[in-house]
Amino acid sequence: MSETLLDIKNLHVWFKVYGGVLKVLNGVNFNVKFGEKVGLVGEAGCGKTTTMKALLRVLPNLALIPEGDIFVRGKNILKLNSRELADLRGRGLSMIFQDPTSALNPVFTIGQQLYDIIKYSAGSSGQKVANKKNVALSALHEARLPDPERMLDSYPIQLSGGMRQRVCIASAIATARDLLIADEPTTNLDVTIQDQVLRLIGDLVEKKGASLILITHSLGLAREITERVYVMYAGNMIEMAATSLLFKKPFHPYTQGLLASVPRLSGGGFAEGIPGRIPDYRNPPPGCRFEPRCQYAFEPCSKAMPPYIDVGDGHQVACYLYQNGQEDRKNA
């Protein structure tokens, strides 16, 4: 337990909207150890960002958490008040967002924002961090940004997308945290920049010995960087395994479909997609949420959400196909 940095247990998150309630997260289980690099893969709308927002406790007002716990370093953060929370965050967490334009406050300079982040990085007491400017400059330098001095006085609007993202990474560098959450860090960037940014993130994590949660819908990305991967679908983690294992032998029909749908450069033929759509969160399927689209669906699938089944080597699947161990594969 002392090895575990983050442990999300059975998290449910609902949104109150017109016509009912969106039951977005349906009992999410997710954990990260110290120094571990974990990937979170899933298509758009499956609940990845919601999980992270819940973790940061920045969910919008219309969200509620009817069930579940989130433990950070052993403390249940859903039960903390705002000062304790700020303390914890100050010492624990950094996050890189998908859209670097909206992640930086447009009316303040880079320097102003960095100084405040650095200032409060030692906890909410905001004790004097010697030489904020040097820390900021060296972080900007490490993030391979040109002319760090001038950068401090610039506004986000004056920078390109790639540069803004690197500024966000610089914030992470400057504060030496235990956990870095990168939410689709390269999605909005040019292909040429993507690689550099990824490399930066990787270096950062290695050097600081921090844990990484990489959220992405790109399988290739996850494969490159992470040690362990969670696959998420419609508000549930449906499969989890060490990266190499997952890509070699995916068990869950959804994961298999995902991997099959990646087009290959060689070998010819079209990639297959997965028929159907993600469910309506107002009226989700009562059992396994993938059941309506699954070609292997059978009797228990529509009754209740399948539990996690260990199929060996720490590889877990939430699927009734494997309820009797590895033997009970598809009936096809």
Partner 1 sequence: MTTEGMLTSSSLKNPWGRTLYSLKRTWYKFSRNWLSVLGLVIVVTIVFLAVFAPYVAPYPQHAGKFVDFKGKNQPPSWQHLMGTDTIGRDILSRIIFAFRNALLMAIVVLAVSVPLGTLTGLTAGYYSGTWTDTVIMRVTDVFISIPPIILALSIAAVLKPTLMNSMIAVTVSWWPWYTRMTYSLASSIKNEYYVQAAELTGASKIYILFHEILPNCSSSLFTKMALDVGWVTLVGAALSFVGLGEQPPKPALGTMIAEGVERMPAQWWIALFPALAIMFVVLGFNLFGDGIRDALSPEEA
Partner 2 sequence: MRLGPFILRRLAISIFVLFGLSVLIFLIARVVPGDPARMALGPRAPVDVVERLRQQMYLDKPLLQQYGLWLRDVVAHGNLGDSLLTRRPVKQDIREFFPATLELVGLTAIFIIIAGISLGVISARYANTWVDKVVRLFSYLGIVTPAFAWAVILMLLFCFVWHLFPSYGRLTEGVMPPVTITGMYTIDSLLNGRLDLFWDAVVHLILPAIALALPPMSQAARLTRSSMADNQNKDYIASMIAYGVPNRVVTGKYLLKPSLISPITVMALDIAATFGYAFMVEKVFGFPGLARYGIQVMLNKDVNAIVGVVMVLGVVFITLNIVVDIIVAYLDPRIRLLGRSI
**Segment lying near partner 2 (by CB under 8 A), choices 104-112, 139-147, 212-220, 294-302:** 104-112
Contact criterion met (CB below 8 Å) for 29 and 19: no
DSSP 8-class letter at 184: S
Q: Which is nearer to partner 1, 1 or 18 (CB)?
A: 18
The partner in contact with residue 277, picked from partner 1, partner 2, none with C-beta cut-offs of 5 to 8 angstroms by kind, is partner 1
Q: What is the dihedral of CA 188, 192, 195, 199, to 10 degrees?
A: -100
Site string for partner 1, 218-257 (x = CB under 8 A): ----------------------------------------
**Segment lying near partner 2 (by CB under 8 A), choices 112-120, 229-237, 272-280, 308-316:** 112-120
What phi, psi does 255 have (nearest 5°)?
A: -60, -40
Q: How many whole angstroms separate alpha carbon 38 and alpha carbon 36? A: 6
Supply the DSSP string of 293-319, one letter for each residue.
G-TT--GGGGTSPPPPEE-STT-EE--
The β-bridge partners of 231 are 41, 239
Is 275 one of the binding residues for partner 2 (CB under 8 A)?
Answer: no
Q: How many whole angstroms separate alpha carbon 182 and alpha carbon 201? A: 9
Q: How many whole angstroms separate alpha carbon 32 and alpha carbon 49? A: 16
Site string for partner 2, 138-157 (x = CB under 8 A): -----------------x-x
* Count of all residues that appear for the chain in the document: 332
Is 87 one of the binding residues for partner 2 (CB under 8 A)?
Answer: yes
Is 43 one of the binding residues for partner 1 (CB under 8 A)?
Answer: yes
Is 50 one of the binding residues for partner 2 (CB under 8 A)?
Answer: no
The partner in contact with residue 262, picked from partner 1, partner 2, none with C-beta cut-offs of 5 to 8 angstroms by kind, is none
Among 22, 93, 135, 321, binds partner 1 (CB under 8 A): 22
Residue type, 290: F
The site for partner 2, by CB under 8 A, has a size of: 41
Is 43 one of the binding residues for partner 2 (CB under 8 A)?
Answer: no
**Segment lying near partner 2 (by CB under 8 A), choices 19-27, 105-113, 192-200, 270-278:** 105-113
**Segment lying near partner 1 (by CB under 8 A), choices 141-149, 167-175, 257-265, 280-288:** 280-288
Q: How many whole angstroms separate alpha carbon 231 and alpha carbon 11? A: 16
The partner in contact with residue 278, picked from partner 1, partner 2, none with C-beta cut-offs of 5 to 8 angstroms by kind, is partner 1
Q: Is the dihedral of CA 51, 93, 216, 114 positive or negative?
A: positive
Q: Which is nearer to partner 2, 164 or 289 (CB)?
A: 164
Q: Which two tokens stand for residue 170?
A: 């610089």
Is 129 one of the binding residues for partner 2 (CB under 8 A)?
Answer: no
**Segment lying near partner 1 (by CB under 8 A), choices 150-158, 203-211, 243-251, 271-279:** 271-279
Contacts made by residues 285-292, CB under 8 angstroms, sequence distance 24+: 288/318, 288/319, 288/320, 289/26, 289/233, 289/234, 289/235, 289/236, 290/233, 290/234, 290/238, 290/252, 290/253, 290/254
Closest distance between partner 1 and the C-beta of residue 296, in Å? 22
Contact criterion met (CB below 8 Å) for 186 and 198: yes
CB atoms near residue 190 (< 10 Å): 12
Closest distance between partner 1 and the C-beta of residue 51, in Å? 15
- Note the residues at the interface with partner 2 (CB under 8 A): 53, 56, 58, 60-61, 82-83, 86-95, 97, 99, 102-108, 113, 116-117, 120-121, 123-124, 126, 155, 157-158, 168, 171, 175, 181
The residues of the shown chain that bind partner 1, judged by CB under 8 A, are 17-19, 22, 43-45, 60, 277-283
